């Protein structure tokens, strides 16, 4: 049986305090038990050079996989909630 595809990717790296704070903000909007959010350590991936170049100064960044929409830190609960709802516009 194959693993489910992530609905969101959270670009992060080890020791990133802001990533921990962002995860707390995200968890106030998304039930992490119900929605698959995959953590992507930009320094530990096969294409880490490209990820570090793209996300290194922007992390934490969360991406909605189906739409490709991203939101960079810093974001408030309200900003994240608005972005989260925008991810699903057009899919209704």
What's residue 92's pLDDT? 47
Distance CA 87, CA 21 (A): 21
Give the model's pLDDT for residue 88.
Answer: 84
Asked whether 23 and 51 are in contact (CB, 8 A), the reply is no
pLDDT of residue 91: 60
Report the C-alpha gap between 37 and 39 in whole angstroms: 7
In this predicted structure, the answer to whether residue 90 has a pLDDT above a threshold of 80 is no
Q: Residue 68: helix, strand or coil by DSSP? A: coil
Over residues 45-82, the pLDDT tens digits come to 999 999 999 999 999 999 999 999 999 999 999 999 99
Two structure tokens written together for 84: 């989260």
Tens digits of residue pLDDT in 10-39: 999 999 999 999 999 999 999 988 999 999
Residue 3 clears pLDDT 80, i.e. is over it: no
User: Which domains does the chain carry?
Assistant: 1-51+60-72 (3.40.30.10)
Helical H runs in the chain? 17-29, 48-55, 77-87
């Amino acid at each position: 049986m194959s693993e489910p595809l992530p609905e969101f990717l959270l670009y992060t790296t080890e020791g990133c305090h802001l990533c921990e704070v962002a995860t707390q903000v995200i968890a106030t909007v998304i039930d992490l038990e119900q929605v698959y959010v995959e953590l992507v350590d930009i320094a530990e991936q096969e294409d880490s050079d490209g990820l570090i170049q793209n996300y290194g100064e922007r992390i934490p960044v969360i991406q909605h996989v189906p739409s490709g929409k991203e939101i960079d830190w810093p974001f408030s609960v309200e900003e994240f909630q608005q972005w989260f709802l925008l991810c699903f516009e057009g899919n209704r």
